[in-house]
Structure 1
């Protein structure tokens, strides 16, 4: 139990290193503490204690001259490394996020997310008012999506669709992977204006901007028509049941009679002692956002309320990403 609780300090060390860009500074060559302290504008004594702790967990390594280099797991904090978790670490370690977790006890008593109690507004409203953190959020979520996307494309045949709308698709990681793997498919990316602005250069850089329309929209109200497949990846988990049904109904209105809805999300196992990671993700959701992870039965209940019928379910290699396929009733 002690070691489990003590890892909170390791998580904080990861966060500080991510914010300071330590891994980027060490990517090409080892550096001494004084040089790193000058580059990061930190106190050399405090910085050394941080680096020493990270070296104890193989994030970094220290040589006989007191210089540090990246350790086996340190590469994951390099900004542009494949599978980088730097921005995700900055997202969940940020003061705003941590203040929400700090009110976990109050959240339990009031039945509201700790984030909302801490900041006086829901998470997404806070993002609209804090642009820097909103950009960190998009980059952090993108890191996970970049990792998920190839596995999801292997698990599902997206080539059978002519046009795919990714609703709440962030900066487009999944849609980019689909379009690159399926050259005959066209795409529609739908998200908030700030997110779409970050996504546009990614499509342009890959030459996909002519095959994908980027749309700013409030997905609680309406989504664009014109697709024969609508994807909701890790979207419904962020919303309480009434809002989740609203999003599903918006998709239902936009979707043609022959269209397909693909809900990509965790399927919470009602049994205890299983899917531990998924249960922890659900706690994270509870303290930050009004939604949560759901069982297959609960998700199918939402689909039914919105006028859909589930026709298939596929597990993937990702713990919190099964694929429920549905059609209009």
Structure 2
């Protein structure tokens, strides 16, 4: 995109800041004052603007409501001790959004449009970024079809929107999970690698079944054999078996290329940890639980960051994992990630974008 990014600003006259309880934030329920919007029509992105966060007007024939052309991202901004605004790996989110968009026949969002819209929004809503440890501003960019047409074809019109919400921890305690061997999240050649809205819709029913049984999440297995553990509903999954860190590879089209996943693997290798990107089978996991070789299990994701797993159900048997000391691998990784995100440690990877 070579045109100048001229963003029209309309600020709210009724900010919600003064009435927001930052000590009692429930994830995703408190939305900041403004949103960035761009429209795609006649083959180009136009009408760039920041305006007060508000409901959208949709025609009942809106294409997304019927055919699901919608992709999204999740990212975070942090406040350093010095008051700087630090955005974690925004470039990776922009690239992944476009990978998802391509798979769903959605026009890509140019990098300069994504970044300038993000920066302008965070400049205006900067006071919404919590200035306390463990808290951050969750950022939700998304694109969806806006044609009012019931024929099955890619839409000709789209909206790109970014809005934000201040958040604390996604999981307040260690997570319990159950291995899923009946339902499938994704299959080869499908959209499992994309952050497509429909992927999450299809996962809700199986997840609700295990939640009724008392588990927080499930561990998805591959759709063919139901033997290879892929990921969880809200995060990539990692296992420490003996002295090696295992996680599912990105060699299939079924695994989301998690940005926190990539960050953890990078830091783990720098810390001298043995890392294997390969599938752990259900049988391997069960054997490791029986023998005590499974030292740690945790999830990685933007919302969850590092979610420690306290219990795994395999083949209808519960296995309790002992509580880990603060010097265990997953806690060290979490500490390292937070140090970079909050500006306590030098960023040697080019992951942090500072808002000037």
TM-score normalised per structure 1: 0.31
Structure number with greater CO (CA < 8 Å, separation at least 6) is 2
In proportion to residue count, which structure has more helix? 1
In proportion to residue count, which structure has more strand? 2
